[in-house]
Amino acid sequence: MTRPADRWIQWTTTGCVGLLAVIAGTVSYLHMHTLVELHGQPGWVAALTPLSVDGMIVAASTTLLADSRAGERGGVLPWALLVVGSAASLAANVAVAQPTAAGRVIAAWPSFALIGAYELLMRQVRRNAASEGSRSGEGPHRRRIGRKMTVTRRRACGALPVRLRGIGGQAMLRRAGMCVGRRGTGR
């Protein structure tokens, strides 16, 4: 695919996800507000509770988006918050729906569509991050050396924090454009 076609695909997907987020957020807010009011909470609590759930979803989603742009899969916390927030939103949508199968499906659909579309966007972002990283030579290319060290190929290397056996090993790695760091530090 050409670069303009890739950009068009990503912008179209991003626009669709944005539109679905507005729709799902509005539906979710109205359903959750109704549910909180039905359970006897004061008006201000009913107004703020949906914002706390949707805010958690947005924060987790943007964290995962940033991780995807960096070529990473994201940590346990943002995924857990996204799953819990999405489940709470979906449960509120279904709880206030008409007590028929069709009513529940209709109430759940906007949240379901947003979750699916968001994951499709994440796939595109991860693929683009991986292809850009491999073109620039700065992608997450790591291999294991021994038990606790990794070598990462990058354009610019800082100081080598880990001692290798002999000075020659460090100089050789520097000339090859490789940095050495402890496992998990990302250096």
pLDDT at residue 102 in the model:
94
- Whole-number Å distance between alpha carbons of 178 and 187: 10
Looking at residue 166, the DSSP 8-state letter turns out to be S
Q: Nearest-5° angle of CA 84, CA 23, CA 37?
A: 60
- Give the pLDDT confidence of 73-90 residue by residue, as tens digits: 788 999 999 999 989 989
Predicted pLDDT of residue 84: 94
pTM: 0.60
Tens-digit pLDDT profile for residues 163-181: 444 445 555 555 555 544 4
- Sign of CA pseudo-dihedral 14, 19, 23, 29: positive
Average pLDDT by stretches of 10, the chain with 187 residues:
78 86 87 92 92 89 84 87 91 91 91 82 76 58 44 44 47 52 45
How confident is the model at residue 175, as a pLDDT?
A: 52
Structure confidence at residue 171 (pLDDT): 54
Please tell me the number of Cα atoms within 13 Å of 176 on its side-chain side.
Answer: 12
Q: Name the residue ranges covered by the structural domains of the chain.
A: 3-136, 142-182
Taking the mean position of all CA atoms in its chain, how far away is CA 2?
Answer: 25
Question: In this predicted structure, what is the pLDDT of residue 146?
Answer: 44
Q: Which residues are CB-neighbours of 165 under 8 A, at least 6 positions away? A: none
Amino acid identity, position 169: G
Q: What pLDDT is stored for residue 136 in this prediction? A: 57
Tell me how far CA of residue 67 lies from CA of 53, 115, 122, 139, in angstroms: 21, 17, 10, 13
